[in-house]
Amino acid sequence: MIQLILLITTVLTTIAAGSQWVFGDFNLFDYDSVCRGLPYSLALLFVLSSHEFGHYLAARYHGIDVTLPYFIPFPSVPGFINFGTMGAVIRTKSFVPSNRVMFDIGVYGPIAGFIASLLVLVYGFTHLPDIDYLLSIHPNYLSNAYGTGVISIEFGDTLLFAILRALLTDSTQFVPPMSEVYHYPFLCVGWFGLFITAMNMIPVGQLDGGHIFFSMFGSDTHEKIARLALATLVVLGTIGIADIYWDWGLRIGWIGWLIWAAILRYVIKLKHPPVGMFVDLGATRKVLGYLSILILILSFSPSPFIVDVP
């Protein structure tokens, strides 16, 4: 019952977020406002559900007792970047007998979520509206004064996003810059799906990446990689703060990486808990493991949010 309540609540908060990202406002009692937010909401729930059910089905295949996904709604808070949700989680209720089972549970979530994000992005890039769509939101978009004197938010590019943009669009189209992508529901959701995938694929503790690296390389190697990953986040977070404070103009790093690093260090922890037995994964699983590492590289942005303050 709690999962259903959370799902319904997340539907509402993502509809609100979708409408606010696109048009800047939301009214639950206005039909047009709800319709504006619905494509974003459905696309985002598709991505999140794909990710979590990848975990769920892999666990059930191995006979592991696991809950259905708990979606985490996040209502709009003034001054905060809000996607309407903080993701979704499932909870394993029985002991995982081997690293092979742990690997399967860990790897199929990000792979499924990545594929879902890829599909959403392909649809978004192949169904781009012309510039009149953006002009209906920002009538002064083409003026020289547009964007001056106001706080602006730009999504950081990723390798996959850039590759799809280059392959699926051409010079005759209007392609929104990263500072306007959030007005396009499917591009926004696809980008956010990659962001969630990258955060979960960081090889620390019981994140998806932690499950995968632990299962592939063992406890000692995983711990070394986890410490290196944590240090990388701290460096990126520190550079992000310094770039804002001293106005270096680097546009590298993000303060959120420091917060995420603190959560990983003190809440999720660096080490991965032991499993019943440790066996060789076999060639197929190793290929999937290296594929998941490629997914991390394609999805990660060192500067996911770039805020310009006048």
pLDDT tens-digit map of 204-251: 999 999 999 999 999 999 999 999 999 999 999 999 888 777 777 777
| pLDDT over 70 at 149, yes or no | no
Q: Quick one: which of 35, 297, 306, 86 has its CA closest to 182?
A: 306
Q: At what angle do helices 99-126 and 31-61 cross, to 10 degrees?
A: 150
Is 271:219 a contact under the CB 8 Å cutoff? Answer: yes
Q: Where are the beta strands (DSSP E) in the chain?
A: 70-73, 85-89, 152-155, 305-308
8-state DSSP, 98: B
Is 48:107 a contact under the CB 8 Å cutoff? Answer: no
Residue 123 contacts by C-beta under 8 Å, 6 or more apart in sequence?
186
What pLDDT, on the 0 to 100 scale, is given for residue 287?
A: 97
Distance separating alpha carbons of residues 264 and 209, to the nearest angstrom? 12
**What are the CA-CA distances from residue 270 to residues 71, 229, 261, 262, 294 (Å)?**
25, 10, 10, 11, 22
Q: How many other C-beta atoms can be found within 10 angstroms of the C-beta atom of residue 143?
A: 10
What pLDDT, on the 0 to 100 scale, is given for residue 109?
A: 96
- Confidence class for position 303, pLDDT limits 50, 70, 90: very high
> Residue 98 pairs with which residues in a beta bridge?
277
pLDDT tens-digit map of 159-217: 999 999 999 999 889 999 999 999 999 999 999 999 999 999 999 999 999 999 999 99
Residue 179 sits at the vertex; the CA angle it makes with 177 and 183, to the nearest 5 degrees, is 90
**Polymer length in residues for the chain:** 310
- Confidence class for position 309, pLDDT limits 50, 70, 90: low
Distance separating alpha carbons of residues 241 and 251, to the nearest angstrom? 10
pLDDT tens-digit map of 283-294: 999 999 999 999
Distance separating alpha carbons of residues 141 and 156, to the nearest angstrom? 21
Q: Quick one: which of 283, 284, 280, 276 has its CA closest to 217?
A: 280
Distance separating alpha carbons of residues 251 and 242, to the nearest angstrom? 10
Q: Please give the mean pLDDT across all residues of the chain.
A: 90
What pLDDT, on the 0 to 100 scale, is given for residue 307?
A: 77
Please give the distance of CA 122 from its chain centroid, rounded to a whole number: 16
Distance separating alpha carbons of residues 81 and 77, to the nearest angstrom? 8
Q: How many other C-beta atoms can be found within 10 angstroms of the C-beta atom of residue 125?
A: 21
Distance separating alpha carbons of residues 40 and 188, to the nearest angstrom? 8
What pLDDT, on the 0 to 100 scale, is given for residue 30?
A: 78
| pLDDT over 70 at 78, yes or no | no
pLDDT tens-digit map of 79-91: 567 888 989 999 8
What pLDDT, on the 0 to 100 scale, is given for residue 285?
A: 95
3-state secondary structure 174-224: CCCCCCCHHHCHHHHHHHHHHHHHHHHHCCCCCCHHHHHHHHHHCHHHHHH
| pLDDT over 70 at 96, yes or no | yes
- Confidence class for position 120, pLDDT limits 50, 70, 90: very high
Counting residues of the chain whose pLDDT is more than 70, the rounded percentage is: 97
Beta-strand pair 85-89/305-308: unpaired
What pLDDT, on the 0 to 100 scale, is given for residue 76?
A: 76
Is 83:74 a contact under the CB 8 Å cutoff? Answer: yes
User: Does residue 1 sit in helix, strand or coil?
Assistant: coil
Higher pLDDT, 152 or 292: 292
Residue 55 sits at the vertex; the CA angle it makes with 54 and 60, to the nearest 5 degrees, is 100
Higher pLDDT, 29 or 96: 96
User: Does residue 85 sit in helix, strand or coil?
Assistant: strand
Q: Can you say whether the dihedral through the CA atoms of 189, 190, 194, 195 is positive or negative?
A: negative
